[in-house]
Structure 1
Amino acid sequence: MAGRIPPQFIDDLLTRVNIVDVVNHRVPLKKAGRDYQACCPFHDEKTPSFTVSAEKQFYHCFGCGAHGSAIGFLMEYDNLGFVEAVEDLAGMAGLEVPREAGVSQGPDLRPLYDLLEKSADFYRSRLREHPQAPQAVQYLKNRGLSGEIAAAFGIGYAPPGWDNLLKHFGTDEQAIGRLRETGLISEPDDKRYDRFRNRIIFPIRDQRGRNIGFGGRVLDDSTPKYLNSPETPLFHKGRELYGLYEAKQALRKIERLLVVEGYMDVVALAQFGIRNAVATLGTATTPEHLELVFRTCPEVVFCFDGDRAGRDAAWKALQTALPVMREGREARFLFLPDGEDPDTLIRKEGSEAFDLRLDQAQPLSNFLLEHLASQVRIDTIDGRARLAELARPLLEKLPPGIFRRMMYQQLEQTVGLQSGTLGNSANPPQAGKRPPASGGEYRKQRPKLISNAIALLLDMPVVAPVAKEVSDDWKNWDTPGIPLLHELLEIIYTHPTLNKATLLERWRDRDEYRHLAKIAARRFDFPGMDHEAEFRDVLNRLVDQYRKANALAPRNAPLSEMSEELSELRQRFPGKIEADDDNE
């Protein structure tokens, strides 16, 4: 069984990666004193309130309250799960993610990855050695593919026959079960045979280069022309893009990705030096596809046929793209001449002419308004009003921000309205967002002592030794938060180099994480603040409250402290304290 990721690895990973680099790759940052600053990517604002601390390896927005570590940022910004975010960061740092033994986190998928890798080798060997391989080799040559490109994409051959792969790997029931689980065999009507037969085989790889499935193309005009692996524990067609791994291997930096329809389009473009093409896998573009694209580069160009079907498919892609079009992201649409696909067109025109077409691809904003304008009489008031009504629901799908405001402005210009007429509701207030907090409000909004102590310790772990200088009576207090504060101190004592980000991640899979993440938003790096004195004061007050709660308070307690306690009791027990005072 696959185990959980060891916390020590998370510590090491967050030490090796710099959150400034992680964020800056997605949101351009500017130096602002000790920290870095930008307009928040999670809510609309004109004045930057989003900060990234290199010292704490932590981000925080004073406007909406968003905050976290590099892992948390990837989870929020790239819409990733925890494990995916860790794997992405590990890839940046050149690390392999380990797993702890003995803690179940789901089925162990390694045997399935191993089988797919061996199957890919099997198909490649058939392309070299099978008696009928020459027809497959000739097909690839006729398509203009070199041996170098075929090798780069791991292209292979599934020869004719019902059980070539089955006989090679299906040696026992367990092996047959794995062939079934990876979709390599079909079993209709109590029959069992290879899924891929007499086809050119295209291995489908994930971002780490692991084989997760296959695509097969016939060598003649039989149908279906393309056949993919079915959905399996490893392969989900709505989340994967063919050719993305190969593009990352070929290009050091990818400025844009071209999304095409088929494997041969990707491979043919690569043969002509265009290595930034990817293909969806028998499905329309999904939000997950687009997040995958935008995690790689800021621009996507969708390539479609210029006929009615192609434009309908492009319109669906546009609607899918709208909710993910944050600042810094760009989507464009390239419509090919009738009867052409990328494979045939680049053979006719060459790579320079094709690159020029890419540069001239239609921006999403233009395509959206032109498509809607074609449905109305734009030369009439009624038609322009209708255009505005058609466009507004689509623009509402855009995330709040500059791009959304500019789209409203372009719509207003198109229909002849004054700027701001339609866009005055383009960026509604974000529900549940906290107003900016400032250092001057810190003492006015003093939180409860225990959460205050935890928040201060998270923000400034270096103050932990102060706890050894004061009484530890507070540890005996049976009240919520005390065990958490105690455990946090013990972790810092054992690992004194941990920062705010690594400390917070220690609780990621525990019940206390939500509460801890909430109070982690507080900051204590205000100018002139003595953090050690503040922590000492908090702990001393915690000790005093514990003693009072247990009737151990000193008789000579300061009058101001007794008044403060009396005020607190009156708030907790209204009408009771006054009555007792009158009876004395």
Structure 2
Amino acid sequence: MSLTPQWLDELRSRTTLSALIGRTVKVTKAGREYKACCPFHNEKSPSFTINDEKGFYHCFGCSAHGDAIRWMTDQRGLSFMDAIKELAAEAGMDVPAPDPQAAQRAEKANSLYDVMTAAQAWFVTQLLGVEGAAARGYLKQRGFTEQTIRDFGFGLAPDNRTGLKTALKQFGDPMLIEAGLLISVEEKAPYDRFRGRLMIPIRDPRGRVIAFGGRILGEGEPKYLNSPDTPLFDKGRTLYNLDKCSPASRQTGRVIVVEGYMDVIALAQAGFADTVAPLGTALTEQQIQMLWRMAEKPLLCFDGDAAGQKASMRAALRALPLLKPGHSLQFVTLPAGQDPDDVVKSSGATALTKLLEASQPLVERLWRTEVASGPLDMPEDRAGLKQRLGAHTANIADGEIRRHYADAFRERFDNLFVQRRTTSPARSGPFVRGQNRDWRKPQILPPGAETKSFNAKGSDFLIQGVLGALLRHPALIRQHHEALSDFIPPDANHAALLNVMLNESFTKESLDTDGLITILDEKLYNVASTLLHSNGTVFAFNREELIGGSDGLSNASKDLGEAIRLMKQRPALEEALDRATYLASLEMTDETFAEQQRLRHEKKVFDDRIIEFFRRDEDSL
């Protein structure tokens, strides 16, 4: 049975050590760790600590130390393989089948660590030698101290195609290629990947060198070059400086995320040791999960230019489906054109601290970004804003968090436009009430039997039924204002019409159909007229003969509320199913397949509900 170091690390990461130990030992929370009386020796006061982030336990009394696997073997008395099988079953992982090649790969991985260690030592030697003068001058110009240069392992790759290859020839070209240190080209001898660059080692959480980043010295492109993905290095699952940030983060209770490793090093020198960075890519889902293991609300401190703000927004959108209670992102806004290093150098560490303390929560960053993305003067503009906010809300997988985001966006939206209505001049235009009195709109005809052949399918059919009911009975708009205010129909005209109706019901005590359509512009008037003529008898809440008197209107309101709930739920469900199908297409695992099938079943149940809702209304005809 061959188990690679990577597989064992994944097993450990999926096991919450405090929960595992807590099954047999009483544990209590102590800051970011847990404490207990040691199960390996008799003691009255707890000296046994459990660190979930690092995945180990340690007793300061008897020096017992280990991880989840060691706990199962030492405390439970299981064999190594029995411990592996039990932990893997709980973590939802399959134990690899016997594979002699896997053992060879594991041995090769250990050899690759030796290669990277040797490469790091050689790069450091080159920096300290004669050829390193220019690189040392650059580091001095950047303001890095001798201590910082040593702590972060700066080195130099000379501008030589075979310098490293020759120095590490004992490992052989194939291993150097697999480690990402040499480039292999057909019909040519392999040559050094990094040449004429300042070298920064990239380490794993255990402090082992797994890759390098190189900054060009002088002119040339690319400015920064990272190692390619290798058996040791996956840039989407690695955070630069994680090994140093983790212990610092436990002291500060925070973690700062910047764009690049030079910013990390500069901030660490300025006293912000709890800083990490992604590696040349947008923040990934895996990296966000890694950040949440250190702090519930990591601080994203990206550059104050357009590219930095776009990177912040990409991270925000990527985090939405992952949000869970208590865990989110905070966003730090830097002065325009400055990066974190610029702020510290120009204004000092105190200035950056103040910016960190003034960070925005995720919900506020999304709101401000969307509000600033374009004009909001026309109804269509406001409908577009509401639609974008609705799309963000729909991306949140957790139902409770999704509801709170919808409430927060709705409150901000209402406050913004109530303020605009109270401060803006009176409406003007060709279709405003009291103007252009000679313009005659056609009489609104009663709903007809052509409803049953109305050209719409699925949820659009339901949306148009709801809008038609609100137009016929504007008194229902106020009753369902809260439920409707965070819904954005996919059709832009319907979205604009709903926005007008909600705004009018908010500002006027009473509203009738004629008064409502009078304030519509020509385009929305035609939309409303089509709705009023077309879908009158499909739904009970649209049929005049069933809505006579207050009881009838009350029943219609109840049916309409159910229709609104169905109307709002379907887009989020369809999007979740699409997302699950997409993830399954990328990597078909038991988890992605099960999630896709669960959502397919949920959608079928939901569709059956809509069908029954239609039938119920038809049966009452």
1:74-117 deviation line (CA, Å, top 9, x unaligned):
9xxxxxxxxxx9x9534889537798798654611111112111
After superposition, the Cα gap between the structure-2 partners of 1:91 and 1:225, relative to the gap in structure 1 and judged at 3 Å, is farther
Deviation, structure 1 residue 336: 2.5
* Matches of 1:250 and 1:126, distance apart in 2: 30
What residue is the counterpart of 1:216 in the other structure?
214
**Cα contact 1:255–1:299 (8 A) shared by 2:** no
Of 313, 316, 326, the residue aligned with 1:315 is 313
* Matches of 2:399 and 2:174, distance apart in 1: 50
Q: Name the SS of the counterpart of 1:202 in structure 2.
A: strand
Deviation, structure 1 residue 246: 1.6
After superposition, the Cα gap between the structure-2 partners of 1:430 and 1:394, relative to the gap in structure 1 and judged at 3 Å, is closer
What residue is the counterpart of 1:186 in the other structure?
183
* Matches of 2:27 and 2:394, distance apart in 1: 34
What residue is the counterpart of 2:143 in the other structure?
144
Counterpart AA for 1:317:
A
Equivalent positions of 1:54-453 (< 5 A) are: 89-90=55-56, 94-95=65-66, 104=100, 105=102, 107-108=105-106, 109-128=109-128, 130-171=129-170, 175-189=172-186, 190-375=188-373, 377-378=375-376, 381-416=379-414, 418-421=481-484, 422=486
**Cα contact 1:326–1:401 (8 A) shared by 2:** no
Query: Normalization by structure 2: what TM-score?
Result: 0.53
* Matches of 2:304 and 2:10, distance apart in 1: 49
* Matches of 1:90 and 1:305, distance apart in 2: 36
Q: Identical aligned pairs, as a percentage? A: 33
Deviation, structure 1 residue 120: 1.2
Q: Name the SS of the counterpart of 1:227 in structure 2.
A: strand
**Cα contact 2:18–2:27 (8 A) shared by 1:** no
After superposition, the Cα gap between the structure-2 partners of 1:283 and 1:411, relative to the gap in structure 1 and judged at 3 Å, is same
Counterpart AA for 1:137:
R
**Cα contact 1:186–1:194 (8 A) shared by 2:** yes
* Matches of 2:328 and 2:269, distance apart in 1: 26
Counterpart AA for 1:117:
T
Q: Name the SS of the counterpart of 1:273 in structure 2.
A: coil
Deviation, structure 1 residue 376: 5.4
Q: Which has a greater percent of helix?
A: 2
Q: Name the SS of the counterpart of 1:330 in structure 2.
A: coil
**Cα contact 1:13–1:90 (8 A) shared by 2:** no
Q: Name the SS of the counterpart of 1:150 in structure 2.
A: helix
After superposition, the Cα gap between the structure-2 partners of 1:120 and 1:19, relative to the gap in structure 1 and judged at 3 Å, is same
* Matches of 2:213 and 2:141, distance apart in 1: 20
**Cα contact 2:344–2:352 (8 A) shared by 1:** yes
Q: What number of residue pairs does the alignment pair up?
A: 372
**Cα contact 1:203–1:211 (8 A) shared by 2:** yes
* Matches of 1:13 and 1:256, distance apart in 2: 20
Instruction: Structure 2 unaligned segments of length 5 or more: list them.
Output: 30-35, 37-50, 59-63, 71-79, 82-96, 415-479, 488-564, 575-589, 591-621
* Matches of 1:355 and 1:180, distance apart in 2: 43
**Cα contact 1:314–1:333 (8 A) shared by 2:** yes
Q: Name the SS of the counterpart of 2:222 in structure 1.
A: coil
* Matches of 1:10 and 1:389, distance apart in 2: 39
Counterpart AA for 2:401:
F
Q: Name the SS of the counterpart of 2:237 in structure 1.
A: coil
**Cα contact 2:259–2:303 (8 A) shared by 1:** no
Q: Which has the higher contact order (CA 8 A, sep 6+)?
A: 1
What residue is the counterpart of 2:86 in the other structure?
none
Counterpart AA for 2:169:
G
Counterpart AA for 2:147:
E
Counterpart AA for 1:175:
G
Counterpart AA for 1:260:
V
1:416-448 deviation line (CA, Å, top 9, x unaligned):
3954543868889999xxxxxxxxxxxxxxxxx
**Cα contact 1:182–1:232 (8 A) shared by 2:** yes
1:401-421 deviation line (CA, Å, top 9, x unaligned):
543222111111133395454
After superposition, the Cα gap between the structure-2 partners of 1:194 and 1:354, relative to the gap in structure 1 and judged at 3 Å, is same
Aligned-pair RMSD on alpha carbons? 4.2
Q: Name the SS of the counterpart of 2:302 in structure 1.
A: strand
Query: Normalization by structure 1: what TM-score?
Result: 0.56
Deviation, structure 1 residue 344: 2.1
After superposition, the Cα gap between the structure-2 partners of 1:420 and 1:206, relative to the gap in structure 1 and judged at 3 Å, is farther
* Matches of 1:12 and 1:315, distance apart in 2: 32
**Cα contact 2:199–2:215 (8 A) shared by 1:** yes
**Cα contact 2:298–2:329 (8 A) shared by 1:** yes
